Amino acid sequence: MGDVAPKLAQLTDDVLFGDVWARPGLSRRDRSLATVSALIAMNRPDQLRSHLALARQNGLTEPELAEVITQLAFYAGWPSAVTAVGVAREVFAKP
């Protein structure tokens, strides 16, 4: 992103991940759970891809993430959940 929008890349690194994600109020695992849920609800597959991978690094398991997708099908809509399943399939296939 930095090649096109360097300031956005800097804000992402410094403010979002450097400050917001580092706040003590929630664990990184819980922040990942909230972020993945929001991205599923908003049907944002491009961003969901990287955040599913990050969620795994932050301690969420594939079965837990699948359960989140299933839960959100009823609150965020079936199409958003089906899209999330496709993204999760791609992400989970990578070690």
Domains of the chain: 27-92 (1.20.1290.10)
**Using the 8-state DSSP alphabet, how is residue 23 labeled?**
-
Task: pLDDT tens for the chain, 95 residues: list them.
Answer: 899 999 999 999 999 999 999 999 999 999 999 999 999 999 999 999 999 999 999 999 999 999 999 999 999 999 999 999 999 999 999 98
pTM of the model: 0.92
Residues 6+ apart with CB under 8 A from 48: 36, 39, 40, 84, 87
Q: How far apart are CA 37 and CA 5, in angstroms?
A: 26
Residues whose CB is less than 8 angstroms from the CB of residue 81 and which lie 6 or more positions away in sequence, other chains included: 40, 69, 70, 72, 73
Residue 56: both structure tokens together: 């795994």
